[in-house]
Structure 1
């Protein structure tokens, strides 16, 4: 049984409904965005027995700021339906996602709910990259075509190091495992990227 199995907590049930609505037609990692959202929520629950329903709801809705129609007042809707904690976590994750587009994105570990959701999100996203690289038939070309991701790998390793001891051991181990797999799978592409003139 997962955290999403019936009977669901009312907040989780509402979040799943909203996620279905807002994720419709959206793609993350070459799959429907709802698949990504559900995997993040399930990953959290796997590592956190008794995970708070607010955290599950935030995981299910963490990409909502990218998907909801601009005319909707997302913060007002989220606060009315879920209370203040869910939109707070979602907005913190949005800030973190946008920071990845900047040089040397900061790593923050002082907000445990955000750290837990962020770790689960990274596990799911990085595992998906490995799956897609292998399915491509040419993992080297797959990662060579993603220099931005390769440049972020040191950041993800730094995040893993900073989160170790602050998130459940199994969660930290799983993030470390997927990072090691990416390091192995993308080794040639990373070497090529570090060559002079690149």
Structure 2
């Protein structure tokens, strides 16, 4: 483990991004994800492309018919990677055991203590290699590591995701919004790192 000059382990700082990813986020999380279109008119007028419009419509209809899908997330802290540490995350959203969405992310923490650059590889749908892409976006960790705001490119649109950690540090609620839709994530830690 890398030690800072004061003898404090590198990942045991009070930097908000260290607290959020290393102290709180690390572990296995499980919960539910929701998705719905809030304005069909704005969706149809948007420039997200036909494929994304079909995906959005399908996701909205499937959730209305079958209920909210399950979300699983596994976050691994890597405090000694890079300049200020990083964390890896695998997110899987599924329904009836079928993967609807798979996202592999690498969070690169900034030395300012609040910034994060995220590199993502995503797959939409259950078929590997069919609807995939890679992308990069940013986040800012706030409130001493108890909240985060992500600026995400999803489904051809710009989304803002606000994440709030519960006081017990064992659950996180997020609301993601764009011009025509909203999504939520409500997860709880089911196991801490070994």
For Structure 1 versus Structure 2, the TM-score category normalised by the shorter chain is under 0.3
Higher helix share: 1
TM-score, normalization by structure 2: 0.24
Higher strand share: 2
TM-score by length of 1: 0.24
